[in-house]
Amino acid sequence: MSTPRLGHRLVSEFVGTGVLSLTIVGTGIQMFALTQSVGITHLSIAVAVGAVLAMVVALGLPISGANFNPVTTLTVALVEGARDYGRIAMYMVAQTLGAIVGVMTANILWDSTLVSFSTSTAEPSLNLLLSEVIATGGLMFLIVVMVARRTPTKLIWVLPAWVIPAVLFTPSGTWANPAITVARFFTDSFTGAPAGFVLPYVAAQVVGGLAVVVVWWVIRRTR
């Protein structure tokens, strides 16, 4: 089977990441409006994201590799020693733009406002940043292991098996994706990101991915 054209791969990354961000924001708005319960809303987001993640990974794997996350793109590239920097950068741009469009779509569906910025001035505490390091690191480790074993199709169920409980057992709710973290700044809703959260969360997520690269390098050197 021939490798899909770069344009097709970028569209796959754009759409897949957009669907994920639409699911997160739309579910948050819907369930909190219906229940006024933070717990039920978090549970609903976990289940919805897990289901949609399985779907977009199944569809995106044969096209773009189903990254849908700049940290995934970076981590896999570093582990595999990839040097196609242009493709890596374009993947990240497509993912981020897709996530923003997904958030805007959720805003329009529920609020008729394309963009609404969070007005919160809160900043993340250390435990929230550590939570993002762990959540992202766990996600990246699973991806690296499945890719190394040449069994990427198992990611269709392995990733939801991590993400669903991680949303529930981490205090941050497992954002674990810089593209969606940036996009969540564009909604003042249940899953919106205060301005003070965006860069620290993105940094924590990148640290989680780089930690997996280091661990994987050590494992390979000591085998």
Domain count, the chain: 1
Give the domain range for residue 177.
6-221
Across 122-149, average pLDDT: 96
Residue 81 domain flag:
yes
Residue 201 has pLDDT above 80, yes or no: yes
CATH of the domain at 81: 1.20.1080.10
- 12: part of which helix (H) or strand (E)? helix 6-35
In 149-194, alpha helices (H) = 155-169, 178-183
| pTM of this prediction exceeds 0.85 | yes
Residue 156 has pLDDT above 90, yes or no: yes
Across 163-170, average pLDDT: 98
- Encoded tokens for 164: 């669903």
Residue 1 domain flag:
no
Task: Give the contacts of 159 (CB within 8 A, at least 6 positions apart).
Answer: 53, 54, 57, 139, 142, 143
Residue 112 has pLDDT above 80, yes or no: no
Residue 157 has pLDDT above 80, yes or no: yes
d(CA 18, CA 133): 23
Residue 127 domain flag:
yes
pLDDT in tens, 184-194: 999 999 999 99
Q: Could you tell me if 188 and 110 are in contact, meaning their C-beta atoms sit under 8 angstroms apart?
A: no
Task: Give the contacts of 200 (CB within 8 A, at least 6 positions apart).
Answer: 123, 124, 129
Q: Could you tell me if 181 and 193 are in contact, meaning their C-beta atoms sit under 8 angstroms apart?
A: yes
Percent of the chain with pLDDT over 70: 100
Task: Give the contacts of 112 (CB within 8 A, at least 6 positions apart).
Answer: none
Residue 222 has pLDDT above 80, yes or no: yes
Task: Give the contacts of 150 (CB within 8 A, at least 6 positions apart).
Answer: none
Closest to 53 in 3D by CA, of 148, 187, 183, 143: 143
